[in-house]
């Protein structure tokens, strides 16, 4: 694909730029090759518009990093609500091919208690409706393709009406003229250095050449190997179910409850969901592959006085708790590996990874140099998401904040593989 024919991309909820790195690379280099292979003019995507804004936050740290790395051209650093309300012919004058974004997921996350899990009506979940509003307002100018990312809990949200939120999204996209392919992808099962599970939602217009091409295949073939996600991340089919959605969105919101499995397709509003397992035999990265051998600051080492606290947090426990209504119950959790196993992909990075306070979920490793226990450095956390070294390093940005960025980020090698799959299809079938 020539430089002039690059696919134009809208990047929403950009964070520090994970989607952009996955689609454009960095300094002409690939992510999945650990930024060693030059792509030159072969990069098929160009971000022409980006948006990043964190609600209720005085200082926009992620936006600062994004602007430092990519510059202000085409960047909108206000809320997506203001974007939707703006004159899109002025703000978005260029017709784009692809819209991407990891829209905020707090209302769906397993890190939230069931009591606080409000799903699509929560303060962050409503941002879905801003996406829907933007696509609706763009109308005929809406992108031919969509790639969205979220936590896998989205498929089961909310707790009291399982699957409702995802059903609403599917029906919304169907009404906007899109077919959909989705997959929960654990990055560690496809050779990447972190066991990070996320759902990727790929939308493509019902009247697109891709929709026409996929008519040759059944839903099973699309999910297994023929869809854009299926080609990038092949799988084996274990079970399948059909999902019937009411036509009325309001009825879905009030009444629907269903079992969405970890993969599926919606073709012309007909939904089939599949339980799949990964089919991968390539090289595998391990936690040990990202560890630094030198320049480890003293702040990352576990002090002797805190050692007992770390062991306590990592150990198994059974605790009596009391509900708001006064009922007692036993809360139990198993022990965690301490220190972390270096011969496997790492556990999922979470937003509270930074700071010296002992925690059950923070990573602890044995230092290669002196065999002491320590936390992961910002560079190591970046490597686990396949970011360039010190990508998030800026004056006045703390190490804890850099860890927070990586807890919110995605494994950009997954985005690169999805982008390659889409661009390969377009090169082969859209002349």
User: What gap in Å lies between CA 422 and CA 6, rounded to an integer?
Assistant: 12
Q: Please state the separation of Cα 411 from the chain's center in Å.
A: 7
Strand partners, 60: none
DSSP string, 194-219: B--EEEEEEEEETTSHHHHHHTTS-H
Name the helix (H) or strand (E) containing 11.
strand 7-12
- The CA distance from 330 to 400, in Å, is 33
Structure tokens at 180: 């959909």
DSSP, res 101: E
The Cα 81–Cα 315 span in angstroms is: 44
Structure tokens at 283: 């090289």
Distance of CA 49 to the CA centre of its chain: 19
Q: Could you say which of 105, 284, 337, 367 is catalytic?
A: 105
**CA separation, residue 320 to residues 6, 27, 159, 327, 335 (Å):** 58, 54, 23, 10, 17
In angstroms, rounded to a whole number, what is the distance separating the alpha carbons of residues 26 and 22? 8
Looking at beta carbons, which pairs linking 212-217 to residues 24 or more positions away fall under 8 Å? 213/425, 213/429, 214/179, 214/267
Cβ-proximal residues to 239 (8 Å cutoff; 6+ apart), any chain? 261, 274, 275
Q: What DSSP character marks residue 277?
A: E
Can 337 be counted among the known catalytic residues?
A: no
State the Cα–Cα distance between residues 386 and 417, nearest whole angstrom.
13
Q: What are the helix (H) ranges across 71-126?
A: 80-85, 88-91
Beta strand 45-51 pairing with 75-76: parallel
Sign of CA dihedral 62, 64, 70, 72: positive
DSSP letter at 301?
Answer: B
Tokens 């084996």 belong to residue = 236
CB 269 within 8 A of CB 246: no
Cα–Cα dist 294/389, whole Å: 14
* Lookup result for tokens 């009404």: 175
Which residues have a catalytic role annotated?
Answer: 105
């Amino acid at each position: 694909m020539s430089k002039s024919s690059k696919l134009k991309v809208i990047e929403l909820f950009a964070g520090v730029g994970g989607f952009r790195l996955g689609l454009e690379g960095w300094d002409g280099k690939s992510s999945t090759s650990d930024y060693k292979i030059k792509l030159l003019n072969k990069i098929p995507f160009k971000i022409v518009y980006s948006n990043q804004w964190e609600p209720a936050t005085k200082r926009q740290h992620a936006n600062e990093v994004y602007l430092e790395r990519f510059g202000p051209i085409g960047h909108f650093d206000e809320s997506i609500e203001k974007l939707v309300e703006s004159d899109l012919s002025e703000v978005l004058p260029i017709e784009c091919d692809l819209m991407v974004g990891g829209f905020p997921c707090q209302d769906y996350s397993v890190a939230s208690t069931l009591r606080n899990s409000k799903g699509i009506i929560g303060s962050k979940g409503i941002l879905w409706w801003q996406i829907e509003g933007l696509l609706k307002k763009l109308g005929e100018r809406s992108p031919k393709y969509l790639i969205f990312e979220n936590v896998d809990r989205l498929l089961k949200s909310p707790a009291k009406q399982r699957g409702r939120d995802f059903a609403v999204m599917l029906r919304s996209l169907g009404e906007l003229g899109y077919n959909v392919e989705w997959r929960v992808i654990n990055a560690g099962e496809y050779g990447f250095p972190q066991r990070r599970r996320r759902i990727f939602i790929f939308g493509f217009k019902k009247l697109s050449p891709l929709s026409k091409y996929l008519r040759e295949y059944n839903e099973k073939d699309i999910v297994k190997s023929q869809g854009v996600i299926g080609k990038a991340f092949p799988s084996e089919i274990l079970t399948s179910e059909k999902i019937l959605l009411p036509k009325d969105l309001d009825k879905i919101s009030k009444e629907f409850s269903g079992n969405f499995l970890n993969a599926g397709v919606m073709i012309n509003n007909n939904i089939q969901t599949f339980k799949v397992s990964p089919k991968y035999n390539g090289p595998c990265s391990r936690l040990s592959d990202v560890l630094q051998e030198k320049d480890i600051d003293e702040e990352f080492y576990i002090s002797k006085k805190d050692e007992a606290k770390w062991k306590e947090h990592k150990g198994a426990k059974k605790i009596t708790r009391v509900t708001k209504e006064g009922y007692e119950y036993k809360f139990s959790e198993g022990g965690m590996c301490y220190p972390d196993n270096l011969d496997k992909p790492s556990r999922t990075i979470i937003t509270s990874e930074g700071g010296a306070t002992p925690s059950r979920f923070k990573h602890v490793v044995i230092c290669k140099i002196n065999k002491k226990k320590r936390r992961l450095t910002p560079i190591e956390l970046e490597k686990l998401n396949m970011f360039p070294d010190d990508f998030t390093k800026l004056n006045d940005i703390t190490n804890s904040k850099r860890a927070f960025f990586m807890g919110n980020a995605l494994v950009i090698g997954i985005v690169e593989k999805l982008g390659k799959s889409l661009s390969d299809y377009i090169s082969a079938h859209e002349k």
